[in-house]
């Protein structure tokens, strides 16, 4: 009997009753799967809300508060490096161990301190600390794997593979949307809000 070569695409779990903030927050985007109005001054922070960079930027300007009747989507897929260290859902078998971080497959080319030469995606996920931007590398690999698992669908994933490439190849300095350039600190603040500080 032939074994499948790819794990099934991860399924989006159904809500357990009521709407979570992840499901009800949306800004500036059309056709959301779950959209609802939120109460005035609802605070969005540290709850693993998967928002797009443009939404995060506008929320930062409002002190991470969502005003009355504002609709913002926060249920994009954004699985953390902690998840991907031990899961393969939606990926080809052995993709994480067989694919090098710095490669034409991933499109990642930056190699600070030559610390990433020959390392697989799995090995980057398992790196500790933050020497040579290791924390950024872990987050980028997690976002990249999520994009791959969900067929790089921008209506589903928080970041696309090309955005992941821009983030890493410019070491956190990139343009998340037209007219804006983020610093490394801003990029890490975004990941901190999305994944939570315990993932850094």
Across the chain, mean pLDDT equals 77
| 119/130 Cα distance (integer angstroms) | 16
**pLDDT tens for each residue of 140-165:** 999 999 999 999 999 999 999 999 99
CA distance 117 to 197: 28
What sections of 41-183 are H helices per DSSP? Answer: 53-61, 81-84, 95-98, 121-125, 134-149, 161-169
pLDDT of 70 reads 58
The 10s digit of each residue's pLDDT in 51-95 is 888 777 766 644 555 555 556 676 789 899 999 999 999 999 999
pLDDT given at position 118: 97
| Res. 36 pLDDT band, cuts 50 70 90 | very low
Residue with tokens 């357990």: 16
Tokens matching residue 143: 């976002």
pLDDT of 29 strictly over 50: no
- Per 3-state DSSP, the chain is made up of helix, strand and coil in percentages (nearest 5) of 35, 10, 55
pTM score over 0.85: no
Assigned token pair, 78: 């954004």
Q: Is 31 helix (H, G, I), strand (E, B) or coil?
A: coil
Task: Retrieve residue 47's tokens.
Answer: 């709850």
């Amino acid at each position: 009997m032939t074994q499948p070569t790819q794990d099934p695409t991860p399924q989006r779990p159904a809500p357990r009753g009521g709407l979570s903030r992840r499901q009800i927050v949306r800004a500036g985007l059309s056709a959301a799967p779950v959209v609802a109005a939120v109460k005035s001054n609802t605070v969005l922070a540290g709850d693993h809300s998967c928002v797009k960079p443009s939404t995060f930027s506008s929320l930062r300007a409002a002190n991470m508060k969502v005003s009355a009747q504002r609709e913002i989507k926060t249920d994009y897929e954004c699985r953390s490096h902690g998840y991907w260290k031990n899961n393969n859902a939606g990926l080809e078998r052995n993709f994480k161990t067989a694919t090098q971080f710095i490669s034409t497959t991933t499109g990642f080319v930056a190699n600070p301190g030559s610390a990433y030469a020959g390392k697989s995606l799995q090995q980057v996920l398992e790196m500790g600390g933050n020497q040579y931007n290791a924390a950024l590398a872990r987050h980028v690999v997690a976002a990249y794997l999520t994009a791959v698992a969900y067929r790089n669908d921008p209506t589903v994933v928080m970041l696309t593979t090309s955005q992941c490439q821009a983030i890493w190849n410019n070491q956190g300095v990139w343009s998340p949307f037209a007219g804006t350039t983020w610093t490394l600190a801003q990029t890490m603040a975004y990941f901190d809000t999305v994944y939570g500080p315990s993932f850094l």
